[in-house]
A and B are shown apart, each in its own frame.
Chain A
Amino acid sequence: MASTAWNPGATVLDVIAIGAPWLAAAVLTVWRRQPRLVGFMASLLSVAASAHLLLAAPEGESLYEALMLLYSCLTAGATLVLPKRDCDSRTISGILFLLGATLLAYSSGNLAVFLTGWVLSTIPFFPESWFRARAWRPATSLVLSSLALAAAIGIIYSSGHAISVDALKGRSPGGMAAFGLLVAAVILRKGIWPAHAWVADAAETGPSIPTALLLNGHLGALLVAKLILPLFPRTAGNVFPVLSWLAMATAIYVAIRTLTENSPRRLLAGIALSQSACILAGLESRTSEGITGALVHWFVVTISTTGLFGILRLLEVRFGENLTASDFLGLAGHAPRLAVFFAVFGLALVGLPGTLSFCSQDLLIHGTLMSHPVTGVVLPIATAMNAVSILRLFARLFLGRRRTGFTHMADALPRERWTLAVGVLFVVLGGLFPNLIVAQRSAEADRVVSAQAGPSVWAELSEHPPERIDHRPAASGESTRH
């Protein structure tokens, strides 16, 4: 769907990746047996199709395919980690619907399709029977962000007379009005200050794992990478720092806010939000280092925060839903493996050496400090505060006097243990051999930096795409997705 030259192979794979979860979701509404198995198999199909798409993607242009693979894997993992109590056909069908919608947004090269993916990904969070939070702010933010995006796309279409992203690149269609609406959509969807509060509300009053999946779609950051930077290179260069400053303000505001938070869900949501705001700041840095760091950090934040929310949910199921960080709960004695997984995911989120986030933070901080020497200092400070918050949460949940009175309490079950181990392995192996991931993202960062350099550079790139992007044999018959 994203290709300029239509490629039937890629389209079929796109349809499988997106259609399989939707089909499975539809099946689960009528046939409610074995939801975990159905969900896992459908996610696995998405994983396989996304992996094929990634392999077929041109070198340096595989970001969206990589994100599709990441999100499919994440959903497959979520279906395994989901506690038995939550694992009914409704939840699984909602998760699969969310997967399909998010992959649609990732794979789209068309404004209308992107909007469809964006709106559909919010649908499961409105009905009571699916994932509606018991607070008004999440639903309001999601609706407003969709309206802002729809209005922006409407203006872009009426001004640019095209709906394809490729056809609109570098033309700043719709001017400041469209740009402003797109930025508003990002702020509302991503939870950027001052529209940040809905994220913690959603995490606290909604279902934990589906909310984590919603947040980790990072469609706000995707909107920046997919539409704002390519379509508005000149405007983005001049006005975009405002969004960057807001992102940095969010990172530090939420980091300070979580220092005194005692609700584990709100605390985790705050840390996740603060760290994902760093992604936006990095994307705006206009340096290859910053953008590469942001893209790599995207992967880290997605995996770590989903892992953390998953573990928290497993603890809630075992020890009651009234967990609090105001007291030492001493749960490590009962669940030592969950404690270790929590510690690794938590520290991986805030730059523990030996994990992928050490590299991503290094690049991110370097890039941001290059573009914003004064305000960029905010990012390491926010990360330091987040590290303290995550350690505090770990200490309060897992350390302290061992609780007595439990007749029997299971530590991580094999399916949970090995799923979480795969996530840990990714962040650790990624940290030990980061160049495999960094080199790919670096090539994509170059394209973004080139795009931000101005329309002339972009036009020059567009005139000679084969030399720059297509390194594969001509006879391979693979996709030339942009």
Chain B
Amino acid sequence: MSSSQAALVFLVMAPGAVFCLLALTWLVGWVPSERVLSRITGLTFTTCLLALSPLLWTLASTGDSAISVTFGNWFAVHGYRFPLVLMADRLSLPFLAMTVTLSGLIGQFSATYLHREGGFFRFFVLLHLFAFGSLLAFAAGSFDLLIGGWELVGITSVLLIAFFDQRPAPVENSVRVFAVYRACDIGLLVAVFAMHNWAGNASFAAGMPKLAGAQPTIVCLFLLLAAAGKAAQIPFSGWLPRAMEGPTPSSAIFYGAISIHAGAYLLLRVQPLLAETRIATICVIVIGLATAIYGTIAGRASADAKTSLAFASLTQVGVVFVEIGFGLRSIAVAHVLGHAAVRTLQFLRAPSMLHDYHRMHSAIGGEIAPTGRRLEDLLPRRTQLWLYRWALDRGHLDTILDRGFIDPLLRISRLFARLDNAGRSTSAERRTKPPISIRCPAEQGVE
């Protein structure tokens, strides 16, 4: 294994190893202090950043298109193989660098921001798991492995949305986000299955799987479902404002920088396949464009800073989707990197920005005057009002999803419950339950 290959393996595995280590120490009953934890985090991401340099040097000096490390098959059953291939090429390397840099920065910021917060340890453990999942997804040499990282990013995102678990709203919202993620991930699973079935593999380390006829369209549409879910594109945009319940550093890294761009990465990865299918390309452009317009309108009616930033993110990611649809790959990558950096900074500034505004208002003795005309002023008054209501309800996306899908599903569920309960014995129904226990029942059997 060459030094660049070793660096790639270290880069991906280091946050995962730290996560396992922290989890084990917690299991045996030791929780490191805040200082130790932030130093471990700083050390991990600094060394990961250093590990990037041999990768960059090798790619720049040798002119190779990619550095890959093959560990054989994770598991195999006859023709069906799950290859363990890590790969750093000109697409994944910027995403790897972005992940490592921003995760390290967020770690350092959070050491102060979450000081003495109850979930300090939990946050850092999940930050490492998230970094591992992201790095795995971006360095995966096959869609099989990409799913692993993709799912880990999803679950850490959900657990961090529920970070402030004393309030019901963050917890409810985390379940909602998880439901959208899981529903959309079905697209990724089915696409990977289709690739295995039609092309015999789902690896892209040696070029995209060979598909013919309508196959690329079907695969790309399923992948678009997964990408749209992860990137909160229309019609799945409703979960993004809900995700703002998490702590600001996690909002910054997930919805300003990395997780929100994972969908764009997926589409960039399948861009050669996407170029073969006009239907899927049009879908990508239409979804991106619709999301960009939706994001900018809904964002204007947002009352809080983080939600405004979330909609601004949505708008930019929508534009990135359009760029990918038009085949502007390099521009899309540059757009993602620039956007991630700026948006992370904005998210991290959001809490202190309010204080700054208050200070400014005090200094000038009143509100800051509006800076000028807005685009919506050009519209007729009635249209403005209609758009305002539409934006205030976030494009009715959640309402449509609720009425069109979730409510009918829950009604069916309740119907099934009635059917199942029809034959239950009365003894089960009349089961007497003890009153709510608020005293220690240790004397009843807990040792």
Contacts and interface: CB of A to CB of B under 8 A. Distances in A.
Binding partners A and B:
yes
Interface of A: 83-86, 134-137, 196-197, 200-201, 204-205, 253, 256-261, 288-289, 292, 317-322, 328, 330, 332, 337, 347, 351-354, 358-359, 362-363, 365-366, 369-370, 377, 380-381, 384, 387-388, 391-392, 395, 398-403, 405-410, 413, 417, 421, 434-435, 438-439, 442, 445
CB-CB nearest 7 A-B residue pairs: A320-B437, A85-B445, A353-B148, A399-B165, A405-B438, A384-B182, A438-B75
Contacts of B444: 85, 317
B420 A135 contact: no
Contacts of A351: 151
A16 B444 CA distance: 36
A370 B79 CA distance: 13
21 contacts: A83-B445, A85-B445, A135-B424, A137-B424, A201-B425, A201-B428, A256-B416, A259-B410, A260-B417, A292-B77, A322-B436, A347-B155, A354-B148, A380-B189, A399-B162, A399-B165, A400-B166, A405-B438, A408-B440, A438-B76, A438-B77
Nearest to B149: A353
B172 to A, nearest CB: 8
B115 interface: no
Contact of B189 (A85, A365, A370): A365
A402 B178 contact: no
Contacts of A384: 179, 182-183, 185-186
B424 to A, nearest CB: 6
Nearest to A381: B186
Contacts of B144: 362
A289 B82 contact: no
B74 interface: yes
Contacts of A347: 155
A345 to B, nearest CB: 14
Interface residues of B, number: 66
B193 interface: yes
B416 A369 contact: no
B413 interface: yes
Nearest to B194: A369
B443 to A, nearest CB: 10
A134 B186 contact: no
B409 interface: yes
A84 B413 contact: no
Nearest to A402: B166
Contacts of B151: 351-353, 358
B178 A387 contact: yes
A274 to B, nearest CB: 12
B147 A353 contact: yes
B243 to A, nearest CB: 15
Contacts of A321: 433-434
Contacts of B424: 135, 137, 197, 201
Contacts of A204: 428
Contact of A256 (B133, B168, B183, B412): B412
A369 B190 contact: yes
B440 A407 contact: yes
Contacts of B436: 320, 322
A407 B438 CA distance: 9
A328 B171 contact: yes
Nearest to A83: B445
B27 A134 contact: no
Contacts of B171: 328, 395, 399-400
Contacts of A387: 178, 182
A259 B413 contact: yes
B76 A370 contact: no
Contacts of A362: 82, 144, 147
A434 B440 CA distance: 42
A429 to B, nearest CB: 11
Given A328-B171, A410-B446, A353 B152 contact: yes
Nearest to A383: B182
A257 B168 contact: no
Given A363-B77, A435-B73, A380 B190 contact: yes
B174 interface: yes
Given A205-B431, A260-B417, A353-B147, A134 B425 contact: yes
Given A256-B409, A406-B438, A407-B439, A370 B197 contact: yes
A317 B441 CA distance: 7
Contacts of A319: 437, 441
B175 interface: yes
A317 B445 contact: yes
Given A83-B446, A328-B168, A384-B186, A352 B155 contact: yes
A50 B446 CA distance: 32
Given A83-B446, A353-B149, 16 more contacts: A84-B446, A136-B425, A197-B420, A205-B428, A256-B413, A260-B414, A289-B78, A318-B441, A384-B182, A384-B185, A387-B178, A399-B165, A409-B440, A434-B75, A438-B75, A442-B78
A330 B166 contact: yes
Given A84-B446, A134-B425, A365-B193, A257 B441 contact: no
Given A137-B424, A362-B82, A392 B175 contact: yes
B447 to A, nearest CB: 6
B178 A289 contact: no
A55 B437 CA distance: 49
A413 B155 contact: no
